[in-house]
Structures are given as structure tokens and as C-alpha cells.
Structure 1
Amino acid sequence: MSAISRRELLVGSLAAMSAAALSGCAATTGGANAKTLQFWHLLSGGDGITMQGLIDGINERHSEFFVRPTVLAWGAPYYTKLAMAGAGGRAPELAIMHSARVPGYVPGGLLDPWDQERLAELGVSQEHFSDRVWENNLVGGELFSVALDAHPFIALYNTDICEAAGVLDSDGQLLRPDNPEDFLEMCREIAGHAPGHALSYGFLGDGPQIWRLFYTLYSQHGAVMDFPQGGTAEVDGDAFIASLELMHQLVDGEITARQGTIDSAIAEFAGQRSGIHFTGVWELPTMQGAGVPVDATMIPPIFGQEAVYADSHSFVLPHQMDPDEEARQMTYTVVSELLKGSFDWAGAGHIPAYLPVTEDPEYAQLMPQAHYAEAADHLVYDPTAWFTGSGSNFVGDVAQIVQGAIVSGEGYEEALEGFLSHVNGILTRPNPANPEERQL
């Protein structure tokens, strides 16, 4: 059976188990007078199973309420339904959003802010999160989301292949070059000892994959992007072009495939034919299940500065016209217990956002998750705007603009101009989730 088939079988099995878990818990409603707390999320596969296990534990501990999850399709369908529920004031008690999407929902009143004092009473406050994660939860100084995790774009690596190539340090960890030349040389060393390519990186026709690596490299220059609504995008043109140039150098047919897809990249690394795999942390369980001798690290600081693209699954309070205060207090309890019990969430590859979990000695023994836990201090989230974030059309649009330059090694200036033109065009449009802007 091929590596990709193993992955498909694994995902299919996990999905079936998740559906069985959800249907199995549907008959359980807590005590006779238990309140039902509706919880919407978009977690499927292994993530869905892990989340359901956490929910089951909470339901077993509490007879006064029952958490009823509803799993909706990832991406636009989920966010559209959530926006409609918030706009109508008939939303669930709790939902999960990617934190980068939250700023676009706040201006339209689709989310209610969290009461920080109420959270603090339950042992959840600013001191329990890294500065970067906490700041990303704030919109206009108010707390509109509470991060469950950070899921960065990282480097998985095959320890056998990389050891043979001589690119591990004295601790057995992958070397972390801090300039493009040394990184490319390291990859060529790996290529000489890998049956396939040095690096598995799928990007063809894949907006999220292109954006994750591009924005990681861009941010490693110390550069930022600013997308002011109604204004003009501020972008470092030199960092933009240098990042595309390196991505083209990678897809040379030796370091990585010239036209690799995400599926072919996963299959290659799972089949132990490459030394490194640039991917999200969520692929770690897949590779462990495939028997790959795998370790992990942040993507090396190729342009000199530590930076890693990431998003966070975060808890939000969808707006309710007349919230049941008792149910809302129970919702706070649910979130506090999910955060405190998120060690199991780390097993899915994610970095728990609640610091007492990652600072526990038990977490230091969790491998290879502990080897990239420091990424929480170097996270780079999407530029703040109503149209950015996971599951948005923005990343697909960017891919169409820059993919040709990545493949051909030509047209970098045109790609930059196209990017700026596209973003500036969107900045003139109203946020569709904000009624006040729509009326202008």
C-alpha cells in the first residue's frame, strides 16, 4: 500500500470514529435539569476525535450542563454559518474560530467579548499565555477570543536520512542555518542521501501552502505587512521578492519537486523518500502512524530572524441577543477546563496555548512536540484585515498572483505589483460582516 493510501485510510478511519463518537454521545444529556450548551467547531479527523474526548470528560464531570458539539465543514461554509448565527442573535453558546478571522467579525457585532475577570476567577488570564498569543486575542483592546493552541508551519525531518547526510548537531537535532546559502547547501547534502528529494513541499494550486511558507520567509526578514481599511497596503518589496526568489530556488527538481502538490509531498515524506517536510503541525500524527523516524523543529531562520507562520484555534462567544447568564457562566467553565486539559490536544501536534500545560515537566517528555514548543514565542499571524486568515479567499488569490514567479523564476516585480493592486482593491471594499460599512 502506498504512503498516500495509508494516510487516506487513516483519515477515513478517524473520521468514521469521530462520527461514531458524536452519535454515541448524542443520547447523553447530563442530569435531569441540565442545560444544553451548543458548541460549534470545525475540527474533523484526529482533531475532532481528540476534542470529542475532552468534551466527553467535561460532560462526565458535570451534571448541571451538557456540552453538545456540532461539527461543520471547514472553511467558508463554517464561517458563513457562524456569521449568520451571530447576526441573527441566535448563535450557539460557544464556537471555535481561527484567531486570524476574529478581527473581521468584531466590527459587525457578531461576537461578544470575554469578561476577563470572570475568566481569571477560573484560572485563565493574560499571565497564562505567551505575549504573542494573548495580543492576537485582542481586538480594540478587548478580549474577543481565547486561544486553545498555536498550530505553526514547521519542519518535520527524517532522522535517519538527515543523520546520514551529516546535517544533525551533537544533540541529534537538525541544523538551523541562518542564511539562504547555507540552507540551500544543507538541502543539497540531504538530497544526496534521500531516495527522492531533500525537501517535501507541496504548493502547486495550493493557496494555504504557498502563503504559509511565503509569509514565514517574509517575516524572517523582520518585515511586516499592514493592511489599513480604506488605505494602502504597506509591504516591504525587497523582502517580498527575496522570499519568492528563495521559493523558486527550492523547487529546482533536486531540493524539492518542481511542481509538487500537498498530496505528493505528504506521500514522499511518509514513504521515507525525503529528509525534510515543510508542513503544519497537524501532519505529525500521520507521519508517526506511517512509521517515519520523525523529529521536528521550527523552519530555520533562513533570512536571519526567527519567525514562524501560524494560526490558532480559539474559543469565541458568538453574539446572542439575550444570553442566558447561567449558561454563559457554564460556558466559561467549559473553556477553562478545555484549556487546562489541553495536554491531550498536544498529541495532535498543536502547541497548547495555556502555558501551565507546556511548562509542565510532562510536556518536556512529549516528543517531538517539545522540540518546537518555542515556536510559541515567534509566531507570525496573518496581517490583520477582515479578508485574511485561515479558510479565507485571500490565500487562494495570493497563490494565483505569485505561483507563476515561483515556478518560472521570472516576473517577481510583476508579482509584487499584482499583490499590491489586489490588496489595495480589497481595502476599498466594505467589510461584509459590518452593517455600518455596508451602508456607506
Structure 2
Amino acid sequence: MQRSSLARTPRGGPLLSRRSLLTGAAGLTAAGALGSCAASGTASGTLPIAYWHLLSGPDGVTMGGLVDDFNAAHENVDVTQTVLAWGSPYYTKLAMASAGGRAPDLAIMHAARVPGYAPGGLLDPWDGDLLAEFGVTQEDFPELIWDKNVFDGTLTAIALDSHPFVLYYNTEIAERAGALGSDGLLVDVSEPEEFRDLARELGAATDGGHGLAFGYLGDGSNMWRMFYTYYTQTGATIELPVGGTMQYDEETAIATLEWILSLIDGELGNDSHDGGTAISEFITGSAGMFFGGVWETGNYRAAGVPFDMTVIPAVFGQPSAYADSHAFILPHQSNPDEEKRRWVHQFVAETLKGSLAWADAGHIPAYSPVVQSPAYDDLVPQSHYADATEFLVYDPPAWFSGSGGDFHKYFGEYIQNVFARSVSPLDGWNGFVDRINALLAKPSPV
């Protein structure tokens, strides 16, 4: 998932100092390096399991802890991590490794990227019976998340989490504004003007700041998250048929863009924030609310911000939470080692069962027994938005959609001009649609 760069551990920061971390992206630029990391050995007498992921910063540290716990509990196996750069570099290297016979034993992929990889034979299926042997079954996952694991009737991914786009709010500012209910949570709003009034009241309770902060400059993914959350609240959908044209509700799309413009109008919200400045505004108490991904929880907690979180209010009818999921995949191997495959299934099962630690970073564990546990109920603010799993909305499937994909990039290229008020919502939207239709006319490069 894409992260903001201000006031948090940077993507390019130090690599994790754990024995299970092999190398960062800088050491994986050549095809030879890709091959060697999948075949690298470990301590004498242990079975090496090569594991690639794109988790850095606090997420990477947490994953490193889960890997170390597993290795400590199983002395005859050693899961070794390779961390690669987020986005296109990661997915390109993963595809090259699978196609070239140098795939790792296990990897992380955003669930919305699976439709772009599975048709090309780059992913191997999971063994549901083997997972069940280790205590993990379909019944342990919310329906929306499990369905995203299945491609063309085959269990192709195992979700670790969901990470929705949500609403943060400063509890001290909200209390001064009289916007907290008797339960100490943000008051419910169900109409567009009610939400604008709420933002106005919170803005008045700051010291000359805004009611809300939203960073969009240079961030197509964040623009899309906001747009698709509100667009789908109306019940509208978007479809990307192979060889066809993008299917959408134009009236709803334009109304959604106009709604977002009404929030970043210079009064309720700053009209020209990037991710870093929006985060800074919320950290300093200059904004009462913040639109962002759940992964910012650790950032704000470390900064000492008094905050809570909630699903974005359904002001257009039905609850909707744009999201993606980190999912475990089996990159294709022509002759997989069955012993390694068994250990990989066991590692994933044990990681899912221990994912309460993963929830600390803000992600909602996909493994329902963890979310339904008393220990998770005690996590605040995480437990306050866990119901988002009931109405998650993923990217419309296509070979170019999903986190870090061209779909987000092109949305940003055309819609940033709309948010900057240099083109009309209709012109910006039509430009985006034309660009996507051009991609739909091309065959998948995978």
C-alpha cells in the first residue's frame, strides 16, 4: 500500500535488523540476484524457505517479529525474508522470478493485484485441505475477504488482513466542538450537509485550522480511495471488461468529484495538501479529522495525537470502505519442493493465528477468530472500525488495477487537475475514462 512520507519511518529508511531479513530492494536489481535469493541457504541442518514481501517501516518490523517467532518455534526450518521496493518494482520482479523459474517459496501480494497475475499462470493454488490440517478454513474469514482470495474457482491467495480507507478524528478537538456522543465516540451523521456541518464545527474548535485534512497531490491512490469510497456509497459500481470499455455511472462519478471538491474548498479542508502536509496538519492539531489508510495509526500514536477512528460516514446511502488486503501467494514453481510447500502452509496458518500483533499496525486481521477475541476488543482504536470488513470494496478487477497499478496512476494524472480546479470534473473524468479504455484494448502483458 502506498504510504505518506512525512512524520513516519520512511520507505527508504534502514533495513530491519533481524536475522531473518536478507536484503533490501537495492540488492535485487539484477536477474541474477533474483535467482540467488530464492535459492539461498540458511544455517546448517535447517530447511530454507524464501519469503518475499514489500513491507517496510513499522509493518516490516512487525512482520519480522512474526517470522522470528515462527523460526524460534521450529528449529528445523528457517524462513528468510527479502524486502523489495513497494509498487511496480516489486510486482515486476515477482513476475520475472515466477516466469524465469526463480520464484521464492512464498510472497505477499495485494489482493487486488491477483487478477492481473493469476491468468498468466504466475501463481500456484493453495491446498485447502492442508490449511485445514493446520486449523485454517474458509469459515475463518469474512465472506468479502475470502471471495477475494478465490480466482476462477481456485484458492489463489490467503489474505492476512484488510486495510480500509477510514476517518480519523482528534478526540480533544471533537470534545471541544461538542461532537462526541455519550459513548465518547464521534457523533453519527447520515447526510452530506450533516458531515459538512460537523467538519465546520471541528474546524472552529481548532486554532485557526481546518475541519478535515486530506492529502492528494501526487498521490493517485489516495485520490482513488476517497473517490471510490463515496462513489460506491450510492450503490454505483465500475467494471473493466477485457477488450471492452469501462462501465460506470457518469452522473454519480461527477457528483462524487463535486462532493470531494466541496470538502477541500479552503474552508472545511485545505485545497492543496499532499500526504505529508495533511499528516502534519493532523499531528499538530490544526485539523479535526483526517482521511487516510489505517496504517497511519502507529504514526499518530507515536506522535502522541489524541485520536480515534471510524468508518467514513455513509452520507450517500450505504456503508462502503475502499480497501485492499495483504495476501500470501505461492509464486509459480515448475517443480515445487513438497516439504517446503507444507512448511509454507504451516507458516501462513500460524501467522494468521498470531495476527493480533499485526493488528497493532492498524490493519484488520483477516482471520476472524483474532478479530472476535477479547484481546482485539481491547485494542483502541482498531476495534472501532473492525466492522468495515462487512462492506469492503476492492478495485474493479483488471490486469492494470490494484495497489500500485496503472489504474491508480492514471486516475491521479487526470483527477488531480480536477481537485486543483484547473479542469472541470466532467473533462477530467472523461480523460481518465479514455485512458482506461485504451488499456482495456490491450492484452495483459503477463
TM-score calculated relative to the size of structure 2: 0.92
Which of 145, 168, 183 is the matching residue for 1:133?
145
**CA 190–409 in structure 1, closer or farther in 2 if over 3 Å, else same:** farther
Pairing 1:103–2:91 present: no
Report the count of equivalent residues.
426
**Which residue is equivalent to 1:436?**
none
1:285-314 alpha-carbon deviations (Å, 9 max, x no partner): 111111111111011112121001100000
Pairing 1:354–2:367 present: yes
Pairing 1:425–2:423 present: no
**Which residue is equivalent to 1:173?**
185
Inter-partner Cα distance in structure 2 for 1:97 and 1:322: 22
Alpha-carbon shift at residue 94 of structure 1 (Å)? 0.1
Taking only the aligned residue pairs, the percentage that are identical comes to 48
2:355 alignment partner AA: S
**Which residue is equivalent to 1:77?**
89
| CA contact 1:93–1:331 (8 Å) conserved in 2 | yes
Which of 346, 367, 371 is the matching residue for 2:380?
367
Pairing 1:19–2:31 present: no
| CA contact 1:159–1:293 (8 Å) conserved in 2 | yes
| CA contact 1:248–1:409 (8 Å) conserved in 2 | no
**Which residue is equivalent to 2:53?**
41
**CA 222–201 in structure 1, closer or farther in 2 if over 3 Å, else same:** same
Pairing 1:145–2:142 present: no
Which of 397, 403, 427 is the matching residue for 1:384?
397
| CA contact 1:30–1:62 (8 Å) conserved in 2 | no
| CA contact 1:311–1:390 (8 Å) conserved in 2 | yes
2:9 alignment partner AA: V
Inter-partner Cα distance in structure 2 for 1:212 and 1:240: 13
Specify every segment of 5 or more residues in structure 1 that has no aligned partner in the other structure, as ranges: 434-440
Inter-partner Cα distance in structure 2 for 1:129 and 1:345: 16
1:231-279 alpha-carbon deviations (Å, 9 max, x no partner): 1211011211111001110111111111111110000111111110101
SS for the counterpart of 1:20 is coil
**Which residue is equivalent to 2:36?**
none
1:347-366 alpha-carbon deviations (Å, 9 max, x no partner): 00100000000000110001
**CA 41–25 in structure 1, closer or farther in 2 if over 3 Å, else same:** closer
| CA contact 2:20–2:80 (8 Å) conserved in 1 | no
Inter-partner Cα distance in structure 1 for 2:127 and 2:186: 43
Inter-partner Cα distance in structure 2 for 1:114 and 1:39: 16
1:132-153 alpha-carbon deviations (Å, 9 max, x no partner): 0001111101111000000111
SS for the counterpart of 1:394 is helix
Alpha-carbon shift at residue 24 of structure 1 (Å)? 7.6
| CA contact 2:20–2:68 (8 Å) conserved in 1 | no
Pairing 1:188–2:200 present: yes
Inter-partner Cα distance in structure 2 for 1:44 and 1:412: 36
Question: What is the root-mean-square deviation in Å for CA atoms of aligned residues?
Answer: 2.0
Pairing 1:227–2:225 present: no
Q: Which runs of 4+ in 1 moved over 3 A?
A: 12-16, 22-26, 28-32
Alpha-carbon shift at residue 176 of structure 1 (Å)? 3.1
SS for the counterpart of 1:154 is strand
1:405 alignment partner AA: V
**CA 396–13 in structure 1, closer or farther in 2 if over 3 Å, else same:** closer
Pairing 1:119–2:112 present: no
2:302 alignment partner AA: G
Which of 265, 277, 280 is the matching residue for 1:252?
265
**Which residue is equivalent to 1:268?**
281
